[in-house]
Structure 1
Amino acid sequence: MKSAHASARDLAWAVQQSAKKAGERSPSVRGADWRTATVTAVATTTVTADGVVCRRMDTYTLPLVGDVAVISESSNGNWIALGRLSSGDPGWTTATLGTGYTQGNTSSQGNNNGPIRYRRIVHQGGWWMEWDGGATRATGAQTSNILSTALASTFRPAARASFVIARNATSITGVANSTSVVHSLKCDFDTDGTVQLVSATAGDTETVWLSLKGIRYPLS
């Protein structure tokens, strides 16, 4: 049979352990904490990660289900999502071109800009599309899309993105005594996933090469 002193000691230890466990579960005792969690739902200003609804930081834009994010809990139990962890360099995808277009790999193809390729990147907290390279264009009829198929939905702009792009220099035809030279044309990146050339008179049939190097636009 335990002595009164031993019983009191055991009781004190049990109370201490109980208080310790309660403190471990209480934010007001253990203070702030952070961890990584997988996003399972996205709302206007919050994300749900591992069952916890977290208010997003202003810098955590365009969250996606599946993001591995850093979430943090304050001492009073409020949760915030600091942002997604990097998944590494997404790498470039080399585009498959439509009829009449050849990837630019040499000085006679795309003015040595390299092959047309694209990637989706995070820039200033948001998703952007970035293009590189150039192509050679055959004379005659051209397809409405310089790509063989439309881009996947995750690579399409929310609204048409139009740019002036470089092309081979050509004198304006049909204008008497003209010394003007055309060396650019308009290119539209449309919401249906197509990439279309919009050419002036000298650009329609006389575009020999074109460049998409440096093109970048937001995806939202």
Structure 2
Amino acid sequence: MSKSSHASTRQLAGALKRQAGRVGAQDPNVRGANWWLATVETVGANGTVVADGLTYRRMETYQAPAVGDVIVVTQSGNGNLLAYGRTAGTTAPAGAWTAIPLASGFTSTHTVFGPAQYRIVTAHGTPRVELRGSVDATSAVTSQTNFSTALPTAARPSVVRTWVGRRNYSMDTKGIAVMEIQPNGVMSVFGSVSPNHTDWFALDGCYYDL
């Protein structure tokens, strides 16, 4: 017995509706306010990323975006697209804490403060490098001395940047060390002659703008 034309029409309409629902659920342009995962295809210079063919404005908390990031994105009811940030991966993302490449004569064994590290972040819309940990001098530092080899290009400032950090302290030494980084990415510390020489210095709370 053949189906009536009305039944066939209802079935076709139902199938089309289900198909449209499936397509809409996968298309950010039609599914309305929601969140989902997307993969970054390109990184814009204006605070945006392109993921799965759409352009998203990054939240300030989404630092150092990279192609291949799997990110959490959302769309508002009026169509605005935002990228909240990356999900955890098997390797450290750009912007993660990274060991500072120390020069010969310096180590990072003052374990009470942790290893010497840096990371690239954005603060109030400005890229900067944050520092933490400490550095030990194999021999006391009595003058300006390079304590790192060159940091990667992304962590190098456009001009010389300086900051002040903690250093070893005793009755005849002041517990302050002045440091700087050159545009070539090399960091140095300013020591002084005995008895105020520098044996170790800390980087906690220090940063410089790029």
By the TM > 0.5 criterion, same fold? yes
Question: C-alpha distance in 2, partners of 1:47/1:14?
Answer: 40
Distance 1:130 1:102, change over 3 A: closer
Alpha carbons of 1:25 and 1:158: their partners in 2 closer, same or farther (altered >3 Å)? farther
CA RMSD of aligned residues (A): 3.8
Could you list the per-position Cα deviations for residues 77-134 of structure 1 after superposition, in whole angstroms to 9, with x for gaps in the alignment?
A: 5432222224487465264332xx24264xxxx6x75675214265869764323123
TM-score, scaled to structure 1: 0.67
Which TM-score applies when normalising by structure 2? 0.70
Contact conserved, 1:113 with 1:211, CA < 8 A, in 2?
Answer: no
Q: Which residue of 2 aligns with 1:152?
A: 152
Whether 1:9 aligns to 2:11 is: no
Aligned counterpart for 2:177 among listed residues 164, 178, 185: 185
Unmatched runs of 5 consecutive residues or more in structure 1: 172-179
Counterpart Cα distance in 1 of 2:108 and 2:59:
42
- Match of residue 196, structure 1, among 177, 188, 196: 188
Q: Deviations over 1:148-195 (max 9, x none)?
A: x21122333455432223334589xxxxxxxx7544331112332111
SS in 2 for 1:25: helix
Q: Paired residue for 2:202, among 198, 212, 217?
A: 212
What residue in structure 2 maps to residue 96 of structure 1?
Answer: 102
Contact 1:41 1:48 in 2 (8 A): yes
Rate the CA distance shift 1:76–1:189 in 2: closer, same or farther, 3 A. same
Paired-residue identity, %: 26
Mind listing any 5+ residue stretches in structure 2 that lack a counterpart? none
- Residues 136 and 77 of structure 1: CA distance in aligned 2, closer, same or farther (over 3 Å): closer
The alignment partner of 1:11 has SS state of helix
Partner of 2:146: helix, strand, or coil? coil
The answer (yes or no) to whether the contact 1:41–1:47 under 8 Å persists in 2 is yes
- Matched with 1:21 is 19
- Paired with 1:29 and 1:10, the residues of 2 have a C-alpha distance of 28
**Map of 1:120 onto structure 2:** 119
